[in-house]
Amino acid sequence: MTLKINETRFLTYMEKSSSIGATENNGLNRLTLTEEDKEMRDTFIQLLKEANLEVRVDDFGNIYGRREGKIKDAPVIAFGSHLDTQPCGGRFDGILGVLAGLEVMQTLNDHGIETDYPLELINFTNEEGARFNPPLLGAGGVTGIFTKDFIYGVKDSENITFEEALTAIGYKGLETNRLQDVKSYVELHIEQGPILDNENIDIGVVQGIQGLTRVNVRVEGITNHAGGARMEERKDALLAAAYMIIAANKITKEIEGLRVTVGKIDNFPNVINVIPGSVEFVIDVRHDRDEMRDKSVELIKDQMHQLAREHNVQCEVTRGWEYDMVPFDKNVIQKIGDSAKSLNYSTMGVYSGPGHDAKYMSTYAPTAMIFVKSVNGVSHNENELTENEDLIKGANVLLNTVLQLAKE
């Protein structure tokens, strides 16, 4: 039996979220563990209670809404995502997966359906990592990737610890409330890329998450006066870094599927009339094949050192935070594909470039993801957009996937 959600109710949930932490440009600023996040959490918990779900909060601030099944003490079918955003974020990233999950629960209530396995909807804390870095702390905590001491000690830019912020908004729950036995986990998300939109495909059946390596580059030249130092005598660290960034980008032309980004540069002394003497930047390198990512990193390192010699500067290149490609579970992938086909939605297999809570959940239970279109591939941006019809399609696929997974 193929079911469909209550579209009006679901879109009302999405509209309600869009008003909490709203920016002037139709986006959201709802950094984790802020007052805006607290308001959204309070609202979410009220909605969970209205859906007759058993609500609990764990010691990382993760929020759970549980619906019992026929089988006593059985592992749960878990689904969800996150409600925190970037400082100038969109209205759909993460939020879709949580509020579509809420609508799944309400639709099952509407039809009086009792699943074999219990269901748990989860809002994970600090997926974005915009306030507390690294990201995925809530999911990483319950799956054992990070220790409690590490998570509690992470500080934001104002030297406030995660534990202090969690306590301040009243969401430091109990360790005994953590996620326990999970039969499978599924996460609905916007693609945050252009493939589905460009190809006009309804549903992306996510095969896995691309591997990532952050390459840390430090360039050392000599600080000098902009008017006094002749061009041929300069050791300009920023000029060398600029050529290095261009060179890293050019490697993407040689290796298909490679994604390279430099989004942050620290320039010293960063004064208008002073030749920069020191520059640090990070190259974000992603590919869905680990061997190609490793090859790309080595090519980048070689290019950095070569350009340092050409510009008469010193260069240090090291591998920083990284993770291998995360393959998703074939059975859960199959259930997603079958659900989409039963609804007559077009599908294609895709890989996720961004990381998600599903990345860490895949180490804990069989996991996969559902993607829907991002208009023009724009995300982490106030102009982020997924059309209502695509939000609804994603929620319908989530509903029917959960129903399949929850059968004995």
347-388 tens-digit pLDDT = 999 999 898 999 999 999 999 999 999 999 999 999 999 999
pLDDT class of 408 with cuts at 50, 70, 90: confident
| pLDDT confidence of residue 48 | 99
Q: What's the rounded Cα separation, in Å, for the pair 6 and 11? A: 9
Q: Which residue has the tokens 């090519």?
A: 299
Q: Which residues are annotated as a binding site?
A: 82, 93, 128, 189, 214, 273, 286, 380
How far apart are alpha carbons 187 and 80 in whole angstroms?
Answer: 6
At 279, list the tokens: 């520059």
Span 282-302, average pLDDT: 97
Distance between CA 385 and CA 89 in Å, rounded? 11
**Mean predicted lDDT score pLDDT of the chain:** 98
Segment 265-271 shows an average pLDDT of 98
Please give the average per-residue pLDDT across 249-264, as a whole number: 96
Query: What does the alpha-carbon distance between residue 324 and residue 196 come to, in Å, rounded to a whole number?
Result: 24
Percent of the chain scoring above 70 in pLDDT: 100
Mean pLDDT of 194-211: 98
**pLDDT at residue number 269:** 98
Maximal CA-CA distance, the chain: 80
Over residues 260-273, the mean pLDDT reads 97
Residues 6+ positions from 14 with CB-CB distance below 8 Å: 91, 92, 95, 96, 99, 391
- 377 by DSSP, 3-state: which? helix
Beta-carbon neighbour count of residue 147 at 10 Å?
A: 11
Q: CA 330, CA 204: separation in Å to the nearest integer?
A: 15
Residue 233 is given by DSSP the state G
CA distances from 156 to 153, 159, 164 (A): 10, 5, 11
pLDDT at 176: 98
* pLDDT of 122: 99
Cis peptide before 354 (omega within 30 of 0): no
β-pairing, 367-372 vs 182-190, is parallel
Counting residues of the chain whose pLDDT is more than 90, the rounded percentage is 98
Residue 315 CA from chain centroid, whole number = 32
Determine the pLDDT at residue 186.
Answer: 99
Contact (Cβ atoms closer than 8 angstroms) between residue 272 and residue 196: no
User: Binding-site residues for allantoate, please?
Assistant: 214, 273, 286
Specify the pLDDT at position 321.
Answer: 87
- Whole-number Cα distances in Å, 127 to 48, 163, 175, 187, 215: 20, 16, 19, 13, 22
pLDDT for residue 141: 99
In the structure encoding, which two tokens stand for residue 348, read together?
A: 């294609």
Q: The pTM is what? A: 0.90
pLDDT reported for residue 310: 97
For residue 103, what is the DSSP state? H
Q: Are 121 and 65 in contact (CB under 8 A)?
A: yes
Judge whether residue 120 has pLDDT over 90: yes
1 — pLDDT class (breaks 50, 70, 90) = confident
Q: How confident is the model at residue 21 (pLDDT cuts 50, 70, 90)?
A: very high
Q: How far apart are CA 36 and CA 39, in angstroms?
A: 5
Output the known binding site for Zn(2+): 82, 93, 128, 189, 380
| Separation CA 279–CA 363 (nearest Å) | 37
Q: How far, rounded to the nearest angstrom, does the alpha carbon of residue 395 sit from its chain's CA centroid? A: 18
Q: Is the confidence at residue 90, as pLDDT, over 90?
A: yes
Domains of the chain: 7-210+325-405 (3.40.630.10), 211-323 (3.30.70.360)
Which residue is listed with tokens 């399609």? 393
User: 326 and 181 in contact (C-beta within 8 Å)?
Assistant: no
